[in-house]
Structure 1
């Protein structure tokens, strides 16, 4: 096997381990390249079918093309897509774009709290209807005890401290010192009642690996990742008020792979265009300790 095949097989193994060990399991789908690769791996793991809900946290500030892509793929691939929102914060305009919150406070409300409430079943869950293409309130409010997430260790500093099977407390808070050791591909999958577990099948993948895999597998991705003639593109996707494009003429995965191999972004962090990271001291650790992805 080549290296891509090796990490592909390891990730599929972790996805299957999670599915067999956690009763109420979901997978987060941010619509970005990493979580879409994760979705592709899940389809491979279960022979074209994804037997668990995909959860998307909709801040209402995503770039419109991202939402169009999400809904189109959900219909084409018959995905059990569920989204959640912090409707109270949006209704009260307690957001950064409205001028009533810092970027960090906005992320905490629209992402972290919305995610916690959606996972716990406290917030309203909206599920796509494959007959109509519309979203309806989902009657299932049972908490998810485990969630599969597409984070990578090389993407941002705090994520390098993660484990493949990472326990959180009942409030989804992350205690770094409480992470279990993982030696020789042996994973801890039994935790005390009330523990919320996040599973990270892509932890060892790099940005280059992701794009090499996208190119090899011909995985459909949002066109925002590619130069549309303006000599810029997005390297990392988020909410439009806090996400900036990078200078690049890459028009497809092959071009992006070449950029990464030649070192164009060697000294530029992948999330350098995400303003909330800078407001969090250059990283996401304080946000992630509170439950952020």
Structure 2
């Protein structure tokens, strides 16, 4: 097997293992390239079907192309799509764009807290009605005990400390010192009642692996990743007030693969355009301990 096929097989094995071990399972879909590859792998793992809900935390500040892409493919791929949001923080204008909190506090409100409330079912959740194409308030939402996430170890420092099956407590808080060992492809999936588990099938993948897989599989991704004529493109997608594009002439997936192979970005962090990372001291460990993806 070639390198990409080995990665694909391992990720599909982990996805299937998660599905067999956790009753109330979901998958986070940020609409970015990594989580979209994860969606693609899941469709392969279950022969075109995704047997659990996809979850998107909408901060209300996502770039519009991301939301358009989400809804288009949620319908096309017949996805059980759930959207959560911290409506209280938005109503009280506890956001960075409103000028009332820092970027880090904004992420805690609109991402970390919104994610916790969405996963636990304590916050409002909206589910896509495939017949009408509209999102409807979900009645009596059940908590998710496990959630699959498109985290890669090479993307950012704190992510390299994750395991394939990474436990959180009931509040989704992450104790790095209590991560279980994972040797010889044996994964701990038996956790104490009340433990929330994050599953990371893409942990071994690199940025180049992701783009080469997108190239091989012809996976549709958001247009924001490509130069639209202004010699700019995004490497990492987030909220529009806190995410900046990079200088790039790449207009296609082939162009991006070639660009990455030149080493142009070898010494530039993939998330260098995410301003909240800089405010957090160059990493996301504190935010991620508090539930951030």
TM-score (structure 2 length as normaliser): 1.00
Partner of 1:105: 105
TM superposition shift of 1:11: 0.1
Partner of 2:142: 142
In the aligned structure 2, how far is the partner of 1:68 from the partner of 1:111?
20
Give deviations 1:46-76, integer Å, cap 9, x for gaps: 0000010000000000000100000000000
Aligned to 2:278: 278
Residue 62 of structure 1 aligns with which residue? 62
SS in 2 for 1:83: strand
| Deviations, residues 83-141 of structure 1 (Å, cap 9, x unaligned) | 00000000000000000000000000000000000000000110011111110011241
CA distance in 2 between counterparts of 1:30 and 1:168 reads: 20
- How far apart in 2 are the matches of 1:51 and 1:142? 16
Which ranges of 4 or more aligned residues in structure 1 deviate by more than 3 Å?
none
Secondary structure, in 3 states, of the residue corresponding to 2:261? helix
Give ranges in structure 1 of 5+ residues lacking alignment.
none
Match of 1:188 in 2: 188
Give the distance between the partners of 2:23 and 2:6, measured in 1 at CA.
27
2:72 is aligned with 1:51? no
Two-structure CA RMSD over aligned residues (Å):
0.4
Partner of 1:159: 159
Q: Report the Cα offset of residue 187 of structure 1.
A: 0.1
Aligned equivalents of 1:258, 1:186: Cα separation in 2: 35
For structure 2, the residue ranges without an aligned partner over 5 or more in a row are none
Give distance in 2, aligned partners of 1:268 and 1:249: 17
In the TM superposition, residue 5 of structure 1 has moved relative to its aligned partner by 0.2
Aligned to 2:2: 2
CA distance in 2, matches of 1:130, 1:220: 21
2:26 is paired with a residue whose SS is strand
Match of 1:202 in 2: 202
**Which residue is 2:292 aligned to?**
292
| DSSP-derived class of the 1:79 partner | coil
Question: Any residues of structure 2 matched to 1:13-162 within 5 Å, and which?
Answer: 13-162=13-162
State how far apart, in whole Å, the 2-side matches of 1:115 and 1:25 are: 14
C-alpha separation in 1, matches of 2:284 and 2:290: 10
